[in-house]
């Protein structure tokens, strides 16, 4: 039964995008760009100059409700993978994780997978919001990211 519960606590969405992985990764690894394509309509803004370059970094984001979150980067491979655990400023992350993975396809496109994992979430107050973060919301972010990335790829031609 634990496996069934864990399955419900990990949601993901994937899509091929007609853009170079490096260009897509720039949109993800630069927090100031994230509100442009956030499908959760949760991100308001992030200060410029926080481009993530390594595991262990922390970037800040202001949510649409005005709350500020520190995002602790826990996985990082340039151009391929980035994951972070959000927390209130100055506090330990309560256990949920946002991950982006990119892979080149033989057709010159990029397979993008977005995952939300709250299997380790310890803050009961956040569990209602976590349950509301469905595959559809992740798909919305991937779709919006595709629009921004493909528009950029087409304008470079």
Q: What was the pLDDT predicted at 8?
A: 83
To the nearest whole percent, how much of the chain has pLDDT over 90? 85
Total tally of structural domains belonging to the chain = 1
d(CA 140, CA 90): 30
Mean pLDDT along residues 51-71: 97
Q: What is the CATH number of the domain that holds 130?
A: 3.30.530.20
Structural domain containing residue 94 = 2-155
d(CA 70, CA 21): 26
Confidence tier at 154 by pLDDT (50, 70, 90): low
* CB atoms near residue 149 (< 10 Å): 24
What does pLDDT average to over the chain? 92
Confidence tier at 4 by pLDDT (50, 70, 90): very low
Residue 13 pLDDT greater than 90, yes or no: yes
Is the Cβ–Cβ distance between 39 and 16 less than 8 Å?
no
Residue 127 pLDDT greater than 80, yes or no: yes
Q: What was the pLDDT predicted at 67?
A: 96
Q: What was the pLDDT predicted at 6?
A: 58
């Amino acid at each position: 039964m634990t496996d069934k519960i864990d399955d419900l606590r990990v949601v993901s969405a994937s899509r091929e995008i007609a853009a170079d992985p490096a260009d897509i990764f720039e949109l993800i690894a630069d927090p100031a760009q994230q509100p442009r394509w956030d499908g959760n309509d949760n991100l308001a803004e992030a200060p410029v100059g926080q481009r993530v370059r390594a595991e262990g970094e922390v970037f800040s984001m202001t949510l649409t409700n005005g709350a500020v979150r520190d995002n602790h980067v826990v996985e990082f491979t340039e151009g391929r993978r980035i994951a972070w655990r959000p927390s209130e400023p100055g506090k330990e992350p309560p256990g949920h994780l946002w991950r982006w993975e990119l892979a080149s396809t033989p057709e010159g496109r990029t397979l993008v997978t977005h995952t939300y994992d709250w299997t380790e979430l310890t803050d009961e107050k956040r569990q209602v919001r976590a349950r509301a973060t469905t595959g559809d919301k992740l798909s919305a972010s991937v779709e919006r990211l595709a629009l921004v990335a493909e528009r950029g790829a087409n304008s470079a031609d």
